[in-house]
Amino acid sequence: MSLISWFDNRTLYGCQCMLSVMFAILFLWMGRAYPMVRGVRSMACAFLVGIPGSFLLLSRGRIPDFLAINVADMLSVVCFVLLYDGIVRFLGRRPRLWLMTGAGAVSVCLVYYSTEVRPNLVLRIAAMGMLAALIRGMTGWELLRGSAEREIRAGAGSLDRGASWATGGGVTRFFGVFLAALAAIGFLRVAMLLILGIPGSGIQRSALQTTTGLLSVAYIGVYGLCFLAMAGHELITRSQEESERDLLSGALNRRGIEARLATELKRSNRSGQKLSVALVDIDHFKSINDRYGHGTGDAAIRAVSLAISKSLRDVDYLGRYGGDEFLILLPMTSCHQATIASGRLSRSVNELTFLEETRRLSLSIGITEASPEDDAISLIARADEALYQAKSDGRNCMRIVMPMTTFPDAPMPQPVRIESGS
């Protein structure tokens, strides 16, 4: 007796139905509680559609074949497309719904033709098998591509801060490999079916049906659990990012910028690449608060933060260090290059008109470069010393304090730009 014979087909269909109910309820709740999670509504709708589809399969032999085959397969097609749509939207891309919907419509037409017009069991099974393998393969490819892009960003030194929620690391890779393997098995089964035809004995046909049921249960279970794990990773990442974000300026708060500084110092010590920091102070900020009120002072902080952010690269970090002071991290940047960048952002702030045409905002900037002996405290202390010199020299200027030693010039890695798929 083979292991396959231990499973009952109706029990497997019942398991599919129960899993669909469980995940549908879970993702409906998640969609209401956390509407910022992309694709969760499509996932909830997919499992909702899967409930009547599984029930129709479970009732086969007790209801008309049109319902048990044609309607059930049509619901399966809708479920496949919605699952694909949910994953691709979660990854932040635009799903190719025209392709999936077109393939699904062709499959539904072939199923109807092979059951109601000219019965052909091989054609019916092949049509649904090819569609399932296609959608699983496309979904797996999107997941693997998303995982690979995250690794490229991490290797380039920009950890995708704006979209770090788009993948769940190892879970995403496992999910992609799992779906790719299911797609390969599906294409192989369809090829064998077209070559060998339907098995002659009832035992072999039952074993084929049972294998299909087992794969479907595994597919539903792994799909729901992996999406749940990726969504949980996104929510944790969002929560962490919000805890490190300054609500007034939109920049990182002190905790966030210090964490990034520690990371960049470790990266510089490991790779030998240069790191420069700039401590920025808004000139005469106290007089703005005293004359115009704290609301106006808050507006000035927001305006300066936005102007500085627009002048920085994707790999740079901006944090509000305290009051009207900002800390800027410039990875892979020498002190000379940092002065050029600081001049650019200083000019962008000088161009801001504030309340009166004659009153413009200006910045005092202290710049330094990291050395192999530096920790966060010594590096910021040196930048603070440079800032003090800038203030003492009349403000609206930048000053530099260099360490005794710096990291040697190293080959600069080429910037990597990741484009979202369309």
**pLDDT attached to residue 419:** 41
Residue 317 tokens read as 């970090």
Q: What is the mean pLDDT of residues 314-337?
A: 93
**pLDDT attached to residue 339:** 93
Structure confidence at residue 365 as a pLDDT band (50, 70, 90): very high
**pLDDT attached to residue 199:** 57
Q: What is the mean pLDDT of residues 12-35?
A: 90
Structure confidence at residue 343 as a pLDDT band (50, 70, 90): very high
Q: What is the mean pLDDT of residues 225-246?
A: 88
Structure confidence at residue 153 as a pLDDT band (50, 70, 90): low
Residue 201 pLDDT exceeds 60: no
Q: How far is CA 145 from CA 91, 138, 153, 420, in A?
A: 10, 11, 12, 11
Q: Provide the pairing of β-strand 356-360 with 353-354.
A: antiparallel
Structure confidence at residue 359 as a pLDDT band (50, 70, 90): low
Structure confidence at residue 241 as a pLDDT band (50, 70, 90): confident
**pLDDT attached to residue 152:** 58
For 3-243, which CATH class?
Answer: mainly alpha
**pLDDT attached to residue 217:** 87
Q: Where are the domains of the chain?
A: 3-243, 254-400
| Architecture, CATH, for domain 254-400 | 2-Layer Sandwich (3.30)
Residue 306: exposure state from Cβ atoms within 10 A (0-12, 13-18, ≥19): middle
Mean pLDDT lowest among 7-21, 103-117, 221-235: 7-21
Average pLDDT over all residues of the chain: 85
User: Percent of the chain beyond pLDDT 90?
Assistant: 54
Tell me: the pLDDT tens digits for 116-139?
A: 899 898 898 899 999 999 999 999
Q: What is the mean pLDDT of residues 62-87?
A: 92
**pLDDT attached to residue 211:** 75
Q: What is the mean pLDDT of residues 71-86?
A: 94
**CA 315/CA 158 separation, integer angstroms:** 5
**pLDDT higher for 200 or 252?**
252
